[in-house]
Amino acid sequence: MATMVAGDVKDLSLAAVGHQRILWAERDMPVLRAIRERFEVEKPLAGLRMSACLHVTAETANLARTLVAGGADLVLVASNPLSTQDDVAASLVNDFGIAVYAIKGEDESSYYRHIAAALKHLPHVTMDDGADLVSAMVFIALNRLDDIHTEVRGWASGLSDLERQSLVGDVVASMEETTTGVIRLRAMEKDNVLKLPVIAVNDAMTKHFFDNRYGTGQSTLDGVIRATDMLIAGKRVVVAGYGWCGKGVAMRAKGLGAHVIVTEIEPIRALEAAMDGFEVMPMEKAAKVGDLFITVTGNIHVIRSEHFAVMKDGAIVCNSGHFNVELALDQLEKLAGGKKTSPREFVDEYTLSDGRRIYILGEGRLINLAAAHGHPASVMDMSFAAQALATEWSLQMRGKLENKVYNVPKEVDQWVSNLKLQTMGIAVDTLTAEQTKYLQSWEMGT
Amino acid sequence: MATMVAGDVKDLSLAAVGHQRILWAERDMPVLRAIRERFEVEKPLAGLRMSACLHVTAETANLARTLVAGGADLVLVASNPLSTQDDVAASLVNDFGIAVYAIKGEDESSYYRHIAAALKHLPHVTMDDGADLVSAMVFIALNRLDDIHTEVRGWASGLSDLERQSLVGDVVASMEETTTGVIRLRAMEKDNVLKLPVIAVNDAMTKHFFDNRYGTGQSTLDGVIRATDMLIAGKRVVVAGYGWCGKGVAMRAKGLGAHVIVTEIEPIRALEAAMDGFEVMPMEKAAKVGDLFITVTGNIHVIRSEHFAVMKDGAIVCNSGHFNVELALDQLEKLAGGKKTSPREFVDEYTLSDGRRIYILGEGRLINLAAAHGHPASVMDMSFAAQALATEWSLQMRGKLENKVYNVPKEVDQWVSNLKLQTMGIAVDTLTAEQTKYLQSWEMGT
Amino acid sequence: MATMVAGDVKDLSLAAVGHQRILWAERDMPVLRAIRERFEVEKPLAGLRMSACLHVTAETANLARTLVAGGADLVLVASNPLSTQDDVAASLVNDFGIAVYAIKGEDESSYYRHIAAALKHLPHVTMDDGADLVSAMVFIALNRLDDIHTEVRGWASGLSDLERQSLVGDVVASMEETTTGVIRLRAMEKDNVLKLPVIAVNDAMTKHFFDNRYGTGQSTLDGVIRATDMLIAGKRVVVAGYGWCGKGVAMRAKGLGAHVIVTEIEPIRALEAAMDGFEVMPMEKAAKVGDLFITVTGNIHVIRSEHFAVMKDGAIVCNSGHFNVELALDQLEKLAGGKKTSPREFVDEYTLSDGRRIYILGEGRLINLAAAHGHPASVMDMSFAAQALATEWSLQMRGKLENKVYNVPKEVDQWVSNLKLQTMGIAVDTLTAEQTKYLQSWEMGT
Amino acid sequence: MATMVAGDVKDLSLAAVGHQRILWAERDMPVLRAIRERFEVEKPLAGLRMSACLHVTAETANLARTLVAGGADLVLVASNPLSTQDDVAASLVNDFGIAVYAIKGEDESSYYRHIAAALKHLPHVTMDDGADLVSAMVFIALNRLDDIHTEVRGWASGLSDLERQSLVGDVVASMEETTTGVIRLRAMEKDNVLKLPVIAVNDAMTKHFFDNRYGTGQSTLDGVIRATDMLIAGKRVVVAGYGWCGKGVAMRAKGLGAHVIVTEIEPIRALEAAMDGFEVMPMEKAAKVGDLFITVTGNIHVIRSEHFAVMKDGAIVCNSGHFNVELALDQLEKLAGGKKTSPREFVDEYTLSDGRRIYILGEGRLINLAAAHGHPASVMDMSFAAQALATEWSLQMRGKLENKVYNVPKEVDQWVSNLKLQTMGIAVDTLTAEQTKYLQSWEMGT
């Protein structure tokens, strides 16, 4: 007789396929596996309630297994309505007994009902991919119930003020996985409303240096190709944003033979893009020449009415930034006067009044998760190893952390990168005694 | 009747050629020129004694002109015995009336006699390329005269204790231009012997992000090619160090068709190099396969006896790090039992006992300055603009700076990069009101 | 009431999806579309029976539509058991009334039954992707029925000798699309058994220069990523063969951040690979270090027992050459003693006696068609435009062609490339009168 | 007592430096050295008078040594007034006893007086770099003395008709080293005036595949950097022509961080450039945006008045094609109304009426030889090995060659590339018996 695992997934019969995919991903996650093996013995998370709001993919499943192996009582919910892999979600519930609330293509109500489930778990540690859990808890603590989705509000309104404060007050620390989330959290810190300690896992070198660049780079182009089957060589690819993700996307588009155009807000990044051999221009101008547009800015309405209006017939537009606000799709809809069809999965065709057609991929949600399988396991191995170790560290620091945004300790980066290199069969040099001394001293010059 | 300008340069008759080269470099330094034009009017450095210990190149000449235009009373000395451009030095003295002490190929005594000249100027602001001026002043203030070169010691030993303290105490701030220097200065700070405020100009984005990468990258390969006329395509090029300079060198070697091998100490950088498609291995292994070796680590004896001993016949070895300590040339000399000839300018051939020949370029000094002309003017434009503006800023902060290593204010980076983009004919986007608001708020999520 | 279209496809109910995909591909095939529009008016293929043995993809569907628009009576059969897109096949039958015999995953019997159907059509023009139709006709004409598959033999044995001769004798010309096929056909010509004229469409510049390089390059990596979700950055990718396809694969693997190793037979190509910055070594050595292996040689058993025996645990191996003979899978099976499972679609895991696992993708068939969608429409646009125009040209040459391998006339290349550029919005320079004269004369020297 | 060697060089006292450079180049020319060692024993060129009109560089010196070692009686003259290395020329005369007529910067009269010297030698075999020797002999044989330079005419007019015919008639074969020369010679063949057999050494794979691409690529950028010290990263570099040389230049400019724009006449090459990720546009448009222009077309007046007229202030323009006709400098001179100065060696500044300045490098002559040292020894090793072996082959074919343009036999390419690989320490695979059989047969298909 089975204990019912809580959760809300699409179809438990998908579990077998999902199980296979989880194990396949595990092959490329040796660092995380090493942590899981230690956690199984040491149980550092024993007695801990955790709520994680993450993309529910095969890689995340291996993080979930690791946390549970460490003793955590985990609830996992989707961090994006389109990014859930239903077979993986099914397997987590069915084969690993983990409570998962996530359905690919769920509507807003369902999405926030799942967020509510994560909150009701009264977590000691949270994990966020965009700060949705933290911001909900903060709104509740601030009694700003109008600012939260009705599906969360219902439950929250039943809480006493004390319970509202405890919800966030009981959190030892919250892990944040994205640039976007870290920006939001720092804004909260600046506004003095950050009511819990945050670990900016995104800012770990082993995370943003690799996952945002190599992971987003490859998987974004992969998503575009799966959605369209287009040849990248010879195309004018406009990349909006030259942060770590934008660098990755531009590098891969170039590597596939595109003529890459970068748009930026920051002059230093624009200079860097130019020095890297890319053409740099404002979106106003790029809009007229691009064949493919990819936004990775973390900002809102980066491509909007004035840009859609001047695009070439057949232009293809997508987003790989965290939130689906980078494309002003409502403005495009207005331009098209509702002339919108779907010629292909993940592709919407908007026809402007003069007959020009613009194609939007994945409804403007991050294309690497909407049309492909997100970051490859091999990079998530490092990101999630950092997540697991940062969680462990935050427990060791329990009571000593203030309500601030903390960086992951350097030791975590060192440990993760060393083990990763080993598993790749790569050795580095070690300092000689003479070198160690030289680096510490300031006496020796010309 | 001429006022004699102090200084020690090779041959004033080279001034005409040097003058041409200074003006040629100026063409590519529009940002620095804009500052010079403002300085000529505002004279922000009026009454200031400055001593700069920098590579005496056509680009540096334009910085010197800018500082003098701002009112500074400047002494310029070489920061490396091999990097001086004698014609430029001559022109600075002859055509611009600036006191310069620098002769290409000068011996150690001459080098330190020139350092002494810079110190005797009793500067209010110093500029360093490797912290040689600052460390000399610190040794003097610490009364550790044994640690300084005899050419400096002579003068220093004649100073009273008060004068020794004033020497460093009178310095408003010292600008540092190199990674190597910043490492030394931070080590001083840690040892509590940093007796003056330092501005880490090297760490300005507009400096290390561009100069260390694009400048060192191109000019190092340029130096190698000028010294050897070798084809880079098809060669195994070993780059020791994957910091900003190493990234630049590896990128350019790859861009010229090499199969690039990277060696590192830091696991995170090693991982990054591997993810960038480079082969990564310890020097022990790389030594056996490399055709060309380039060190850019900031460390000592990165290639030493055990490595030279296993190199292939004909291996070419050079350094592009700041100090000439990266190659253990004395160990090579011992291995070769003194069998050393010079088959070509900038090339020394060492013959090992079994007949294998190893070629050292530029005596192990930074090859981009020894055999080529250093960083192109276009990148030095930004670095030196940051130098000039950081100097101006330190004067505005006079009295408020502690004896610490400071970063260049963000505004300097913004101003320099904006103007640089303009002069390149590149425009960036500007934030809409909606975007500005979005970036500041944390309320909007999924 | 419907005329029944002959054919053998998987499921006609897939037609709607296939139809969408055919139209989606058409968007990126403007050159072929222009030809179709002219063919509809001019009907240059009227009265012609054609049999085409090609990969049945959305792009091929647009070629089929073009040929039919030109008046041809067409039978289309698969050129590979794994490359058929069933939905496209269904749509061709259902929506376009074209006779198609092709089912993804069909067994050998079914495959050759379909080949037989193409032969029974008694074609005037054939199209081949690997020379299977031509070689069958030649075997029949040579009365070497033992050399053909039993499914074809049955029908062929019922033919009179005259009919056997007429089968091949009635063919005006045969178009060949692959390097592999052209090699086979030239071998036939050398052996004096080529009993019909062949147009080496593969050798058209607008074909092999683009399709073999940019098409195979992108789609092969795409196939690998879809089959495995692996990160390419940081991997050692071994590319066997540095012909046009191999160049494309190596270029794209490098563009995705791999450390690429090339193996070759031809010294000149090996040199070229080395000069292009790749590591070059024999397969014997590469087998020990590779993470991913891709064969594109056109040869047999390029990776065999001795190589599988020394691979690392987890090595991934696939083929992108035309025939599935490049990997000696029977030898691997023997090594693994039958320990073979399928952890994932398109992936077979073989476990060697010491526990090492080797992964074979797509059963060794061309991975770009097995796991992805083959060449993007944009390159097939040129290849298939060349096919259609070469067909038209062969009819104009009817009676004048000998039983040899012909090149596509230069005019076809010019016309196709000019139109392609136009549709990409790219303009070229035109010769001035002075330049035309200069290029024709030999009189003007230093 | 010295036998006087004939010749005309700048200064014999430069011989020591030249000697060093010749030996330095030899280090990177192991294939040519192996041939020289065999030639010394076998003397295949004994009794042969040879005239070579080549760039007189350290690499050419090693070819000259090889030919002389083989027994040839050699006269070497410059193939370009700016490309001679005077120290090398001196050493060839002084240390190797070879007759050389070449002076860097010689005027037209001197240049053609040297050509005359080569002709007076009554060669049995000639070598050309642009077909100047062959065309002079043809003009003489055609009695078109008005078409040859006065310095040659003088001598030729004294020849009897029989002598004029014998001059060309006695030539066993002429080797041609450049694309430009081969085009001229094929034009002669077409005009039925090619009065001697020609070996298109340029078209050997081991020549044009490597030298035109990797050699011209690196050395052209090297020439530009030496002439200007400019940073390539971030610059818009316009490459006119996308043949093998243009591909090399574009690849290297990209590798140095430029945004590369290609102009072309041929649509297929334009397509290839676009697919390689370059921006393609007509020169008319490119002229307005380029920072640096490099012509490598083999055509005349590729950049002319209409283009100079719209360039940006500070545009830098050079040529790397064989003849200095690619830039219409007389038209620029007219535009500038004679306002021309030289701010730097190898740089001419033209000022247009509105103040815009345009910089021409190396007077429009091939910049890689004018400002740098031409192709690296390592690639010339292959080109010149092919030269030497093609010469040997032509003697074996003596009497059997018609007055046509011949390709170098495949065996030469095989032999050269095999030896080159060996010297680079690179091994290739060898065909198994099974593979050899497979490649020869046409029977095995799907």
pLDDT digits (tens, 9 = 90+) for B146-161: 999 999 999 999 999 9
Q: Which of B229, B342, B348 to mutate: most D Cβ within 10 Å?
A: B229
Task: Map residue A266 onto helix, strand or coil.
Answer: coil
Tens-digit pLDDT profile for residues B67-87: 999 999 999 999 988 889 999
Residue B312 DSSP code: P
Give pLDDT < 70 ranges for chain A. Answer: 1-4, 445-446
Q: Are the Cβ atoms of C184 and D442 closer than 8 angstroms?
A: yes
Residue B22 C-alpha from the chain's centroid: 18
Q: Cβ separation of C234 and B275 shorter than 8 Å?
A: yes
Q: Token pair of B293, please?
A: 């070796």
Q: What pLDDT band is residue D89 in, cutting at 50, 70 and 90?
A: very high
For residue A296, give the nearest of A373, A230, A405, A208 by alpha carbon.
Answer: A208
CA dist., res. C317 & res. C300, Å (int): 15
How many CA atoms does the CB half-sphere of C311 hold within 13 Å? 32
Q: Other C-beta atoms within 10 Å of C344: how many? A: 18
CA–CA min distance D418, chain C (Å)? 6
User: Which residues in chain D touch residue B254, judged by CB atoms under 8 angstroms apart?
Assistant: 255
Name the residue with tokens 């943003």.
Answer: A208
Strand ranges in B105-168 using DSSP code E only, listed in sequence order: 125-128
**Of A244, D343, C91, whose CA–CA distance to B24 is shortest?**
D343
Give me the residues of chain C with pLDDT under 50, please: 1-3
Distance CA C397, CA C305 (A): 49
Q: Which residues of chain D from 326 to 365 reach within 8 Å of chain C, CB to CB?
A: none
CA–CA gap between residue B319 and residue C292 (Å, rounded)? 35
Residue in B214, B413, B441 closest to A187 by CB: B441
Kindly report the average pLDDT of chain D as a whole number. Answer: 94
Q: Would you call B272 an interface residue with chain C, using a CB distance cutoff of 8 Å?
A: no
B213: phi then psi, degrees, rounded to nearest 5: -95, -65
Contact D344 B377 (CB under 8 A): no
Any CB–CB contact under 8 A between B242 and chain C? no
Q: How many CA atoms lie within 13 A of A182 on its CB side?
A: 16
Distance from CA of D441 to the nearest CA of C (A): 6
Is there a contact between B427 and A281 if contact means CB atoms under 8 Å apart?
A: yes
The tens digit of pLDDT for each residue in A284-310 reads: 999 999 999 999 999 999 999 999 999
Torsion of CA C111, C115, C121, C123, to 10 degrees: 150
DSSP state of B104: T
How much is the pLDDT for C82?
86
Confidence grade of residue D315 (pLDDT, cut at 50, 70, 90): very high
Neighbours of A145 (CB within 10 A): 16
Tokens of B224: 């190698």
Tokens read off for D344? 């730097």
A88 Cβ contact list (under 8 Å, min separation 6): A18, A21, A22, A56, A57, A58, A60, A61
Q: What pLDDT is recorded for position C209? A: 84
Q: Is D126 an interface residue toward C (CB < 8 Å)? A: no
Picking from D315, D331, D148, the residue whose alpha carbon sits closest to that of residue C434 is: D331
Cβ-Cβ contacts under 8 Å for D30 (sequence gap 6 or more): D381, D419, D420, D423
Surface-to-core class of residue A114, CB atoms within 10 Å of its CB (0-12 exposed, 13-18 middle, 19+ buried): buried
CA A278, A283, A285, A286 torsion-angle sign:
positive
- Inform me whether the C-beta atom of residue C276 falls under 8 Å from chain B C-beta atoms: yes
Token output for B352: 């090992």
- Best interface-test mutation with A: which of C221, C231, C349 has the largest number of A CBs within 10 A? C231
Q: What is the mean pLDDT of residues D427-431?
A: 94
List chains touching A (3+ CB pairs under 8 A): B, C, D
Q: At D379, which amino acid appears?
A: V
Task: Compute the distance between CA of residue B408 and CA of residue B413 in angstroms, rounded to an integer.
Answer: 8
Q: Return phi, psi of residue B394, to 5°.
A: -65, -30
ipTM over 0.95: no
Contact C228, C361 (CB under 8 A): yes
The answer to whether residue D1 scores a pLDDT higher than 60 is: no
What tokens appear for C29 in the block?
Answer: 């095939």
DSSP state of A123: -
Tokens coding B223: 């130096």
- How much is the pTM? 0.93
Contact at CB, D279 and A259, closer than 8 angstroms: yes
Residue B78 bridge partners (DSSP) = B54
pLDDT for position C443: 74
Chain B residues within 8 A of A133 when measuring between CB atoms: none
Q: Give A 38-57 residues with CB within 8 A of chain C.
A: none
Q: Mutation target for C interface from D429, D436, D438: give the one with most C CBs within 10 A.
A: D429
Neighbours of A203 (CB within 10 A): 17
Decide: B79 and B115 in contact? Cβ < 8 Å: no
Strand, coil or helix: A328:
coil
Q: What are the helix and strand counts (H, E) for chain A?
A: 20, 16
* Chain C residues near residue D183 by CB distance under 8 angstroms: 439
Give me the helices (H) in A260-310, please: 267-275, 283-289, 305-308
Looking at the complex, does the CB of residue A430 fall below 8 Å from at least one CB of chain B?
yes
Note whether C142 and C165 are within 8 A (CB): no
Contact status of A289 with chain D (Cβ, < 8 Å): no
* Interface touch A429/B282, C-beta < 8 Å: yes
Closest residue to A184, CB basis, from B266, B414, B442: B442
Q: How far apart are CA B412 and CA C313, in angstroms?
A: 53
Question: Rounded CA gap, A260 and A251, in Å?
Answer: 9
d(CA A288, CA A273): 20
- Interface contact C259-B275, CB threshold 8 A: no
**Beta-carbon separation of A379 and C222 below 8 A:** no
Q: How far is the C-alpha of C216 from the C-alpha of C177, rounded, in Å? A: 13
Q: Which residue carries 């043995």 as its tokens? A: C53
Mean pLDDT of successive 10-residue stretches along chain B, which has 446 residues: 71 95 96 96 97 96 98 96 94 96 94 96 96 95 94 94 95 94 93 95 90 95 96 97 96 98 96 97 98 96 98 97 94 95 94 97 94 92 96 95 95 93 94 92 73
- D443 touching C (Cβ < 8 Å): yes
What's the angle, vertex CA C223, arms to CA C219 and CA C225, rounded to 5? 115
A155 in the Ramachandran plot: left (φ > 0), alpha (ψ -120 to 50) or beta?
Answer: alpha
Q: Do D377 and B231 touch (CB under 8 A)?
A: yes
- CB D279 within 8 Å of CB D336: no
Alpha carbon separation from C78 to C81, C132, C298 (Å, rounded): 7, 10, 19
Provide the 3-class DSSP secondary structure of residue A263: strand
* CB contact at 8 A, A63 and A348: no
Strand locations in B144-283 (E): 173-176, 198-200, 236-240, 259-263, 279-280
Question: Cα distance from A297 to chain B (closest Cα, Å)?
Answer: 11
| Exposure letters B178-195 (e unless 16+ CB within 10 A, then b) | bbbbbbbbbbbeeeebbb
Contact A57, A368 (CB under 8 A): no
DSSP state of A185: H
- Written as six digits, the tokens of B329 are 């040339």
Q: What angle do CA C295, C299, C302 make, to 5 degrees?
A: 55
